[in-house]
A and B are shown apart, each in its own frame.
Chain A
Amino acid sequence: MMIDVATAFSPYPAGRFRTDGPFSGEEFREKTLVPALAQGGPVVVRLAGTKGYGSSFLEEAFGGLVRHGHFTADELHRRLSIEAGAPEYEIYKRRVDEYIRRATFGSDRAKARA
């Protein structure tokens, strides 16, 4: 499955939580990424075409997949591909990889239980 962020979600992704705005990282993760990955097949996310990506958005959307215990970093490495789509979006692709790598599996799920 291919997710083109600019057309499937918004050309203006920004903010971490839903309380930050309508196109937040949390909204993208829960409404778009998790359902797509839940189908079981490979998922490609294309980044080009937006007006940018704040680090809060990217960390919550992608790092949040691991922190909230949806998937391990290894599972995402196998099933989720990030496609920059244009040279100026390569920096965001690198950030997504970094945020997934940094995230601790289930750390936010554990906090929620506590």
Chain B
Amino acid sequence: MTMIDAMRSIAVLEHGSVYVDLNEIAFISPAATLLLVAELDRWRRLKNIKLRPRDIETMHDQVLYSLASMGFFNILGTHNLPPFTTDPGAPQPIRFCSGNQSDLKKASDVSAELQRIAGASLGQEELLLNDAIAEAMTNSVQHAYPSSLIDGLPVLKGEWWATGSYDQTRHRLTVLVYDQGIGIPATLPSSKHWDRITKRIPGYKELWPEDARLIEAAIEEGRSSKLTEGRGLGLAEIADLVYNSDGGHLRIISGRGEVRIQPGVKTVLQNHQRPLGGTLVEIALTLS
């Protein structure tokens, strides 16, 4: 997040070319790679800023591999990469896609590509994974961007970025959908289901709930009630996929909150000092 915060600060002030030094990074997760890609994409499209990687030949191989696989260098227009080796056991990321509509074609392309590199099929879960990805996109399009300026920064309204990775050591597919909106906790007070959501949080009137508790309450409300619309319905559908899976998990980071749901395991809530600057939905499924 430090690097992304720095990129945001620079991008607001600068025009033209900005150099990015990624040599200090020894390891980058697929989620962090997607955030970087999205940030770069935002400034490239909104301000025509040309971010250029510095000293690319001395970057760590894993970082180079993850960024290259996800299409980071294509955005930069850097096509001549130095040779790098990859750990065969490392998660294999796929190229990102983005859009500003709920797009089942792109959602199904992500899951198909992951199954292709895994050399295995999700079977019945494939359709449900497609649905979950599309619902995450729908949430971004409908709820994430009430304004074209969020936290003082211009945003691409309705935009989401999606990718995934396959971890062959754990036979696990992971899908990531990210938006740069105001975050789930900030959207909930305007929800028609706000009263029902807050009833799930003891003492909320005395003390404003932390973001992670709000996200969890929205998911719980969606799963247990008769919602017909609102963010809770989509979140509930995504959570249901994971709850009905064997060895999967759902992680949602939004605002300052992080919720990790895993069947048979107590839900983990965390609150971070710094907000994410959007919402990241991570859906992991284990191939049987």
Contact = CB atoms under 8 A, between A and B. Distances in A.
Contacts of B131: 52-55
A91 B124 CA distance: 10
Contact of B138 (A20, A67, A89): A20
Contacts of B233: 55-56, 59
B103 A102 contact: no
Contacts of A59: 228-229, 233
Contact of A52 (B101, B130, B138, B228): B130
B128 interface: yes
Given A54-B135, A54-B237, A88 B124 contact: yes
Nearest to A58: B131
Contacts of B101: 15, 20-22
A91 to B, nearest CB: 8
Contacts of A103: 228
12 contacts: A12-B103, A12-B104, A15-B138, A16-B138, A20-B142, A21-B102, A23-B104, A52-B128, A52-B134, A55-B237, A67-B228, A99-B228
A12 B104 CA distance: 5
B142 A13 contact: no
Interface in B178-231: 226, 228-229
Contacts of A51: 104-105, 107-108, 127, 130
Contacts of B134: 14-15, 52, 54
A70 B81 CA distance: 59
A54 B102 contact: yes
B261 to A, nearest CB: 17
Contact of B127 (A16, A21, A52): A52
Given A20-B138, A51-B108, A103-B228, A56 B128 contact: no
Nearest to A24: B102
B222 to A, nearest CB: 9
A17 interface: yes
B104 A20 contact: no
Interface in B124-151: 124, 127-128, 130-131, 134-135, 137-138, 141-142
